[in-house]
A = this chain, B = another copy of it.
Amino acid sequence: MTVIADRPASAPDLLRVRQDLLDRVERRLDRFTEAERLRWLAINPRAAQPVEAVIDMVGRGGKRLRPIFCLSAFLAAGGDPGAEVAVDASAALELLQAFALIHDDVIDNSALRRGAPTIHVRQAGEHSSQGWQGEARRFGEGVAVLAGDLAFVYADELTFDFPPPARRLWGELRTELIVGQHLDVAVAAEAVVDPRLSRWIAVCKSGRYSIQRPLLLGATLAGRPGLADAFAGYGLALGEAFQLRDDLMDAFGSTEAAGKPAGLDFAEHKMTLLLALAVERDPRIRGLLARDGDAPWDADLIRRVLEETGVRDAVERTIGELVERAVASLAPAGLDPVWSDEFSRLATLVAYRDR
C-alpha cells in the first residue's frame, strides 16, 4: 500500500500495484453479482435469471480497457492503492459496459458477443425450444433489455461512495454513451453521409466513453482533476484511433478474431468514422453508400474501393498520427516517467489491437 509513497517506484512495482487493483476489480465484480444472484435465487429461480445474464456477460472477460485506464490514471495521479473507491469505479465501468453491450446487441441484432451467442439470441432460442407462449423474438429481446437495465443499476450501486465531482462525471459519461448510441442508430437508418457528425459520434462513444472519461474518473478519484486537460487530449486522439481500428477490423477482419461478427457495420449500413473519412478523401465512395431503399451495401466492392483509392493505407497513417498526438498531449502533465511510458504502451496497444 505504501509502494508509491516511501521510495522511488520502479515500473514493475507500479504495474504490479495496478495488477493487484485489477485483480481486486474482478473479485469485487464476482462478490457483488454473486450476492445478488443468491438473494434473488432465494425468491425464485426465475428472479435470478437477469442476474445470471449479467454475470455471464461480465465473466466472459473482454479487454477491461476502461478499468485499465481508470486505475492507471488513479495511480499516476497519486491515488492511494489501498482505497476501495477506484476498485469500485472500475467495476462500475465494466458493469456499465455490460449494459451497453447487451442493449447494443439487441438494437443491432447482433448474434455473437465475446465469442458466445448474445443474450437475446440465446433467450429467443430457449423460448422456441421450450414452446413457450408469445413471440420468441419479443421474449428474447425483452429479457435482454431487462438484463441490460439490471447491469445499469448494478453499475450505479458501485458509485454510491463517489464524491460529488466524480458523480457528475459518471452522469455525464452515461448520458454521452446513450446519446452517442442513438445518433449511431439514427444516422444508419437515415443513411446520413456527414463526416463531421460521424467524427463527433466517434469522439463521444469511443474517445470520451472508453478512454477520456475513465482516465478523468481515475484522476478525480485520486483528487487531481487538474490532469483533465492532458487526459482529454490523450483520450480524444486515442479514442479516434480506437474507433478507426474498430471500423477497420469490422471491414477487413474476421469474426473469429473479434469474438463478434465482422462486416456488421456494412450489413447495418452504419456510417462509421472509417467511411466518413473515406467519403472526405474520395467523393466516389459517397455514390457507393447513398443508395436508395434497403438494398444491402456491396461489402466486397466497398472493401475493394477502400483499398484501391488508398483510403485504407491513409487511415493506417492517421491512426499512427493520432497515437503520436495522444502521447504528446500527456507531456504537460509531468507524470512519473513510468506512467508516461505506460500510457504510450497502452496507446499502441489500443490502436493496434486485433480484437
Are A178 and B150 closer than 8 Å at their CB atoms? yes
**Interface majority SS on A: helix, strand, loop or mixed?**
helix
A185 touches which one: B106, B143, B174, B188 (CB < 8 A)? B143
Residues on B with beta carbons closer than 8 Å to the beta carbon of A334: none
How many positions in chain A have a CB within 8 Å of any CB in the partner chain? 58
Expressed in whole angstroms, the Cα–Cα distance for A40 and B134 within the complex equals 38
Q: Which residues 161-194 of A sit at the B interface, judged by CB distance below 8 A?
A: 164, 167-168, 171, 174-175, 178-179, 181-183, 185-191
What is the oligomeric copy number? 2
Convert A130-148 into 0s and 1s, putting 1 for each residue whose CB lies closer than 8 angstroms to a CB of B: 1111100011011101110
The closest CB in chain B to the CB of A48 belongs to: B179
CA A157 – CA B149 in complex, angstroms?
Answer: 16
Q: How far is the CA of A153 from the CA of B159 in the complex (A)?
A: 13
Question: Hey, which chain B residues are within 8 Å of A145, CB to CB?
Answer: 103, 106-107, 145
**Cα–Cα distance between A131 and B153 once the two chains are bound (Å):** 36
Q: Counting CB contacts under 8 A, is A246 at the interface?
A: no
Determine whether A28 belongs to the interface, using a CB cutoff of 8 Å to chain B.
no
- The CA-CA distance from A136 to B27 in the complex, in Å, is 42
A160 and B171 form a contact (CB under 8 A): yes
For residue A209, CB closer than 8 A to chain B, the reply is no
Question: A134 touching B49 by the CB < 8 A rule?
Answer: no
Query: Which residues of chain A (109-127) have a CB below 8 Å from chain B?
Result: 109, 127
Please, how many angstroms separate the alpha-carbon atoms of A106 and B138 in the complex? 8
A145-B106, A175-B153, A182-B146 known; A134-B47 Cβ under 8 A: no
The 3 closest A-B pairs by CB, nearest first: A107-B142, A132-B189, A46-B186
Q: Are A146 and B103 in contact (CB under 8 A)?
A: yes
Chain B, Cβ-Cβ closest to A190: B132
Docked CA distance A183–B134 (Å)? 15
A213 contacts partner chain B, Cβ-Cβ < 8 Å:
no
A352 interfacial contact with B, CB 8 Å: no
Q: Are A153 and B174 in contact (CB under 8 A)?
A: yes
Contact in complex: A107, B44 (CB < 8 Å): no
Structural contact, B106 and A142, CB atoms closer than 8 A? yes
With a cutoff of 8 Å between Cβ atoms, the chain B residues found around residue A167 in the complex are 160
A68 to chain B, nearest CB (A): 24
